[in-house]
């Protein structure tokens, strides 16, 4: 699978799963197919129907998701969607591992940078040296916060 398509599929998965969770939709392949199609915008009639239902009721049910699956996706499309879902699910652990590795690497680098800043501290520091250390610590703190936020997301 092409990298762009992998990234796009992974993004659809990241959008579909929280919606399913928000509305209490069971994580079945058929339900996932409906919500995957919805967030991808690939099936405009399905998307419009879900938008109308959400506007009218503010919530969603497993039963309604099943009805929409039967109405819009059917058996022929099911096999194609299942193949895409399998691919998405195979990618999920790899993506989680990448984010965890990035977070771990960033944390290690931050620890090293802060240790270097601490090593520069001494009682006879000039005002300029103090300013430089504070500047280094602030920059590293910003980097650590950014990395942490990305990992959290």
What is the C-alpha end-to-end distance of the chain, expressed in Å?
25
Q: Note the pLDDT of residue 35.
A: 95
* CA gap 72, 51 in Å, rounded: 15
In the chain, how long is the greatest CA-to-CA distance? 77
Enclosing domain of residue 66: 3-152
What percent of the chain lies above the pLDDT cut of 70? 88
Rounded to two decimals, the pTM is 0.50
What's the number of domains the chain is made of? 1
What pLDDT is attached to residue 88? Answer: 73
Low-confidence ranges of the chain (pLDDT < 50): none
CA 148 vs CA 8, 18, 100, 114, 134: distances in Å? 23, 20, 10, 16, 21
- How much is the pLDDT for 76? 60
């Amino acid at each position: 699978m092409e990298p762009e398509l992998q990234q796009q599929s992974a993004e659809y998965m990241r959008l579909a799963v929280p919606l399913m969770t928000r509305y209490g939709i069971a994580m079945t392949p058929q339900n996932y197919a409906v919500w995957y199609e919805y967030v991808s915008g690939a099936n405009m009639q399905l998307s419009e129907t879900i938008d109308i239902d959400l506007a009218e009721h503010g919530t969603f049910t497993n039963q309604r998701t099943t009805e929409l699956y039967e109405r819009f996706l059917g058996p022929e499309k099911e096999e194609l969607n299942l193949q895409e879902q399998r691919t998405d699910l195979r990618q999920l652990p790899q993506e989680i591992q990448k984010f965890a590795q990035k977070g771990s690497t960033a944390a290690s680098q931050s620890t090293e940078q802060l240790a270097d800043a601490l090593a520069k501290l001494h009682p006879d520091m000039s005002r300029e040296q103090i300013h430089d250390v504070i500047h280094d610590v602030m920059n590293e703190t910003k980097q650590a916060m950014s990395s942490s936020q990305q990992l959290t997301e």
